[in-house]
Every structure is written in structure tokens, then in C-alpha cells.
Amino acid sequence: MSRQFSVAVAGCTGAVGVEMLKVLEERNFPISKLKLLASARSAGKKMKFRGEDIVVEELTHDSFKGVDIALFSAGGSISKEFRQSVVDAGAIMIDNSSAFRMDDDVPLVVPEVNPEDVKKHKGVIANPNCSTIIMLVAVAPLHKAFGLKRLVASTYQATSGAGAKGMEEMLVQTRQVLNEEPIAPNVFAHRIAFNLIPHIDVFTENGYTKEELKMLNETRKMLHDDSIKVSCTCVRVPVMRAHSESLNLEFKTKVTPEMAREVLAKAAGVTLKDDPAAKVYPMPVDASGQGNVFVGRIRQDISRDDECGLDIFVAGDQVLKGAALNAVQIAELVAAL
């Protein structure tokens, strides 16, 4: 990529925004000019990029003149408010919120899964839900090889999924529990320290949460197959960073664990961690800070009479591959168009 791009990062002071800057620097994205955008209260703050101090500017509708790519991680309402301004300025919005994911005219992209969909954009490309990203990096190559029919997911989602405030609440509550002090949950519906909460996002009429339905709808959209059956239970766990998922997979053809390992060993964005005898399997503590999704505990589903089912366990960094890295990888696809 010889061309240089003017890049804006909206929501640059948040957990994902900070990670986006790191990823842009680490992957040496070809930037001619970088604009850091945030709310008025963060304007004037300085952030380092490639050894230089860059002053954070207030996000306004005039912020995108001369910008080629705008990375957004400022929340859905902000993305909706500024979408037209970004597009009118001739920039491409890569949005990390759920605002546009299911819009027919907005590609939903994981570069390892459906990179070709980037070409369909009309000024906006959506970053999928973090749990969907982590899941599909592992599942998509298996789907391509064996044809996915049904998927049952149970997630173990880190506090990082609720941003910096979520991680801080877990740390504060952990100290409070150990010191036998009273706890008043704020970010989460219940105490998160030494606890699990089977509730992420709001509940819908059918008893599933929006988070769980996102994984269903986004999977079908990116795999271009509405016949795939998906059921999820999403659980918040007292982990700092990196989501894990237990996945039960049903395929159209017979598949053995050995066949699955062979596929996954060659899959982009996947690191095999599958040697139970040596106590090697995916764990969030190891996946944290890593760009790849860890996959292991690959075994035949023994509840089935055929050999068309597998159980696997995955772990991936929610802030990195589940958000910032995926967004920058999308930007790289855009830059290559």
C-alpha cells in the first residue's frame, strides 16, 4: 500500500479507541494525517502516536473534511449522529457500535471470514459484536469445509466488554469482597466479583438478550446463510480481558476432531491450543493481548449418533480482535481497494 491515508479516530480516549491507536502504530498503517476526536471534556488532551503528541479535538460535524477513513468507537448514538457528516465528507466510516450492523446497505465484516463484503460498502462498514468475531474466526473455516447447520454457544465474557468502567468495577469489588466491605453494583446489574451474571445487554420478548440475538443475526449475515440455526447464552464473568466461548457445532457432513484440527491449523487468525494431556487449552489469561483467537478442547459430540458434531472451546481478546484489531484490519482492506 503505497498510498497514505488521512485517518480519524472518534472515541479515541476510550478503551477501544486507545487500542485502535496502538494497533494502527504496530501494524504500520499508512497514515498521512491522524485526527483524534472525542467529547468536549477530552478536547485538549494529548495522546502519543509514533512518538509524537497529538492533541485531541472535539468531535463535530466538521471534523471529517479531508479524512479518508474514520474509525468510530464512541457508541451507537454518536455513530448515528455523525454518519451522514462522515459520508458527505467523502470518508469511509468503520463503526464499532451495533448501530448499523444489520442494515442491508452496510457490510458486516471479519477480514478472516468475509473480506470480499468490504467492496459492497456505501460509506459505512460495521465491526461485528466482539463475541461474534471471536466465534466466527474459529467457526467460519469449519463451516467452509464441512457446512455448518447448527451452533449452540455459551459465552464467558470478560468485564472489558463493558469498557474501562467495567474492568474497574471488578477490581474495586474484588477488594471490597476481600475486605468484607459493602458492594453497590453500578456498571453491572449485580456484583461481578467472585460471581457470574447470565445477563448481557437487555432482554427481549423471547427471553434472549440482545447480545445473544446479535450472535445469531450477525453469524447468518456474514456467512450468507439464513438457514444456520444459532442459540446462545451470554454470561459475564469476573475476568479482566478476553472472552471465551464453549461451542457445540453440528455440520452437514461427517467431521472428526483430527479433520477439524487440520483445517484450523491452516486458518488465518487462529492459534491451536489443543493438547489436553499437557493441560494446553484456550484460556483468557493467555489470549489477552493476542491478535489471534485460541481454539482447543476439540472433540466429537458424543451425544450424537452420527459423526457430524463437534465441541470446541475458544478464547479471544475482546478489546483487540473483538474490536480494535478487527476495525484496523477492515481499514487495511479498504486501503487495498
Q: What is the pLDDT along the chain (337 residues), one digit of tens a residue?
A: 479 999 999 999 988 999 999 999 999 999 999 999 999 999 999 999 999 999 999 999 999 999 999 999 999 999 999 999 999 999 999 999 999 999 999 999 999 999 999 999 999 999 999 999 999 999 999 999 999 999 999 999 999 999 889 999 999 999 999 999 999 999 999 999 999 999 999 999 999 999 999 999 999 999 999 999 999 999 999 999 999 999 999 999 999 999 999 999 999 999 999 999 999 999 999 999 999 999 999 999 999 999 999 999 999 999 999 999 999 999 999 999 9
> Is 143 labeled as catalytic in the residue annotation?
no
Q: Write down all domains in the chain, each with its CATH number in brackets.
A: 5-127+323-336 (3.40.50.720), 132-318 (3.30.360.10)
**Contacts with 292 (C-beta within 8 Å, 6 or more apart), sequence order:** 137, 269, 270, 271, 316, 321
Residue 208: the pLDDT is 98
Model pLDDT for residues 79-99, shown as the tens digit of each residue: 999 999 999 999 999 999 999
Of 12, 130, 232, 308, the active-site residue reads: 130
Of 12, 121, 243, 308, the active-site residue reads: 243
Can you list the alpha helix ranges (DSSP code H) found in the chain?
Answer: 15-26, 76-88, 130-146, 163-178, 210-223, 257-265, 284-287, 325-336
In a 13 Å sphere around the CA of 1, the CA atoms on its Cβ side amount to: 15
Closest CA to 96 of 8, 16, 19, 201: 16
> Is 199 labeled as catalytic in the residue annotation?
no
Model pLDDT for residues 33-79, shown as the tens digit of each residue: 999 999 999 999 999 999 999 999 999 999 999 999 999 999 999 99
